[in-house]
Structure 1
Amino acid sequence: MPLYHVDPGSEAALVRVNDDVDLIKISVGTMDNNAYLIHPGAGPAILVDAAAEPGRLKALIGNDEVGAVITTHRHQDHTRALADIITITGAQPWCGEPDAEAIEATTGVTCRTVWDGDLFRLGDIELDVIGLVGHTRGSIALRLHGNPSDHVLTGDSLFPGGVGKTNGSREFDSLYNDVCMKIFAPMSDMTVIHPGHGDATTVGEERPNLPLWRARGW
């Protein structure tokens, strides 16, 4: 499958989700953060993780309307451009409920909140919200139903080769169990995983490694 690789400062990568929705990926900032523009054929778009470089994000958006900016988790490398992008676009900011207070404290942006099991709708875009507790208390993943495969934006909770960084065994257990139950159990092997940094992978590519992740504890 394509890795949808993008380098910092390079052109964006286009991912066709289905006949009506595209996913556009760009790398911003010094930590190779992925920002994603969910772009429908008509109606407002959604930006996921306004991480850095608001000028480049605005250039990516162009003249399109952005109705929502969704932040996958509270860490500042994913929020440095949030306030600027909200000001520029007038979009509504959203995040996982347990991380909302921390995001407001570091950015000054008050987010509306979603959490595990919610269905987020904006025009022609529908996202299943998945709470993944461990990297932070309020980390979320966002699932787009596609053709021929679904796509899930996992923030820093799931990468090629393992789950995201956690601060101890309790947090690892929580995150590992969440990704097993909420991503690997219900999703097909064709589902494409789009992380908060680096290249994409698939559920099928990562599934055989779950016992290794469990045994090593990261």
Structure 2
Amino acid sequence: MTYTGEVRVGGPADTREINGVTVTKIAVGPYENNSYLLRCSGTGQGLLIDAAAEPQRLLEMIGATPVERIVTTHQHADHWQALAAVRAATGAATVAHPLDAPGIPVATDELVEDGDTIRFGDASLSVIHLVGHTPGSIALCYAAGGPQPHLFTGDCLFPGGVGNTQQDPERFTSLYNGVVGKVFDRLPDATWVYPGHGNDTTLGAERPHLAQWRERGW
């Protein structure tokens, strides 16, 4: 079946193959968070993005995949409720940005900054630090130099706008400028966007609306 990225809490995961990596997306409750399992097709090694909630469902999705790392995109509690349990079950190293790591009540094994690389098997993700939703939010890009990158944005970019900045003009400006300068200005329209909640999108679908987002301030 064709991947759509349209998943619902309690429903099945959705899986796709992309250039040597398998991406599996699942929605977990109660806040309808997305968690993503990436598996290197060559080695079978895995990486989990946001152990958000429902650890048993996440572990069922992981199955026998040896998960090397669990990346937490930012410190908000709905993105790490299952982190302790999944880490204990898999032995994976935990990864976060140093500005948000103190707000995650599971020790961070590896701190990453803007431009760093996170590896799993033969595959790797590049780290994009985006300030505004939280001080240490990160997006993760696979195949950044290819014709169709794949971007996991946490709560920094969604269909229809950037992440919530609590109507703070300074935080909004920071996040908007970061998303434009580090994402839209560097990556092509074909870039597939996997957000922390809800359905997927592409940069091409969102790019025509950037001026509208800036004008409305959210």
Per the normalisation by structure 2, the TM-score is 0.94
> What letter is aligned with 2:208?
P
Off by >6 Å, runs of 4+ in structure 1 = none
Q: Number of paired residues?
A: 214
Once the two structures are TM-superposed, the CA of residue 122 in structure 1 deviates from its matched residue by 2.4
Quote the Cα distance in structure 2 between the aligned partners of 1:25 and 1:2: 10
Partner of 2:164: 165
> What letter is aligned with 2:195?
P
Tell me if structure 2 keeps the 8 A contact 1:17–1:150: no
Quote the Cα distance in structure 2 between the aligned partners of 1:129 and 1:159: 18
Partner of 1:131: 129
RMSD: 1.4
Partner of 1:47: 48
Partner of 1:141: 139
- Determine helix, strand or coil for the equivalent of 1:97: coil
- 1:45-194 equivalences in 2 (<5 Å): 45-103=46-104, 107-145=105-143, 149-167=148-166, 168-194=168-194
Partner of 1:27: 27
C-alpha distance 178-68 of structure 1, shift in aligned 2 (>3 A): same
- Determine helix, strand or coil for the equivalent of 2:22: strand
Quote the Cα distance in structure 2 between the aligned partners of 1:11 and 1:169: 39
Q: Percentage identity across aligned positions?
A: 47
Quote the Cα distance in structure 1 between the aligned partners of 2:44 and 2:8: 29
Partner of 1:212: 212
Specify every segment of 5 or more residues in structure 1 that has no aligned partner in the other structure, as ranges: none
> Higher mean Cα deviation, 176-185 or 39-48?
39-48
- Determine helix, strand or coil for the equivalent of 1:68: strand
> What letter is aligned with 2:187?
M
- Determine helix, strand or coil for the equivalent of 1:87: helix
Quote the Cα distance in structure 1 between the aligned partners of 2:110 and 2:8: 31
> What letter is aligned with 2:106?
G
